[in-house]
């Protein structure tokens, strides 16, 4: 498996936006589907802006290129990468709820002052890191599924025939 696109500090940074993402994706916020998609896109753009403020060494436009600097190609793909990373994380979190809950409870028993959501985020990260190390193929399957979710979200089903929709 190749080098991770985001390092641990960057993943921790991205976790700060998970609650906002979940609220927008749940759809019970009174927004139309179009407004919801627009709000999610605005959130990702805000995450990217804050990402480059927090990690200026990644920003090609602010620094001379180093090993840590994203190339122009990587920079163009950052939007999709962030959405895919968040979706992969959510899919794993939902699929392995019981396993992650056990880790969350263990983390909270070691640090009762830690807020519940912070403990869950930490447990999810720990679970994903273990999955990447022990079963990278399974992690890759979740990444592929996340990509398929995003591709399906872009599909205009109004243009599909009834026969195609039945498949």
In angstroms, what is the C-alpha Rg of the chain?
A: 18
Mean pLDDT estimate for the chain = 84
Q: Is the pLDDT of residue 27 over 70?
A: no
> pLDDT of 70-98, one tens digit each?
888 888 888 888 888 888 988 999 999 99
> pLDDT of 102-112, one tens digit each?
999 999 999 99
pLDDT value, residue 155: 63
pLDDT value, residue 2: 47
Q: What is the pTM of this model?
A: 0.69
In the structure encoding, which two tokens stand for residue 80, read together? 């999709």
Q: Which of 83-92, 98-107, 113-122, 143-152 has the highest mean pLDDT?
A: 98-107
Return d(Cα 27, Cα 77) in angstroms, integer. 26
* Contact in structure between 119 and 107 (CB atoms under 8 Å): yes
In the structure encoding, which two tokens stand for residue 165, read together? 């929709």
End-to-end CA distance of the chain: 34
134: left (phi over 0), alpha (psi -120 to 50) or beta: alpha
Return d(Cα 153, Cα 149) in angstroms, integer. 6
Q: Which of 151, 153, 129 is nearest to 34 (CA)?
A: 153
Q: Which of 66, 54, 61, 91 is nearest to 76 (CA)?
A: 61
Q: Which of 84, 75, 82 is nearest to 140 (CA)?
A: 84
> pLDDT of 33-57, one tens digit each?
778 778 888 998 999 999 999 999 8
């Amino acid at each position: 498996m190749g080098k991770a696109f985001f390092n641990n500090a960057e993943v921790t940074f991205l976790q700060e936006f998970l609650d906002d993402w979940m609220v927008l994706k749940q759809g019970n916020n009174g927004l139309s589907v179009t407004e919801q998609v627009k709000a999610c896109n605005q959130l990702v753009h805000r995450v990217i802006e804050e990402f480059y403020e927090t990690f200026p060494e990644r920003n090609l436009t602010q620094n001379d290129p180093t090993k840590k600097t994203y190339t122009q190609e990587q920079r163009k793909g950052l939007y999709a990468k962030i959405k895919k990373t968040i979706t992969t994380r959510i899919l794993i979190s939902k699929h392995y709820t019981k396993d992650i809950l056990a880790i969350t409870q263990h983390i909270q028993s070691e640090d009762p002052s830690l807020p519940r959501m912070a403990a869950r985020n930490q447990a999810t990260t720990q679970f994903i890191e273990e999955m990447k190390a022990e079963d990278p193929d399974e992690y890759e399957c979740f990444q592929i599924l996340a990509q398929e979710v995003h591709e399906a979200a872009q599909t205009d089903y109004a243009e599909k025939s009834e026969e195609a929709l039945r498949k």
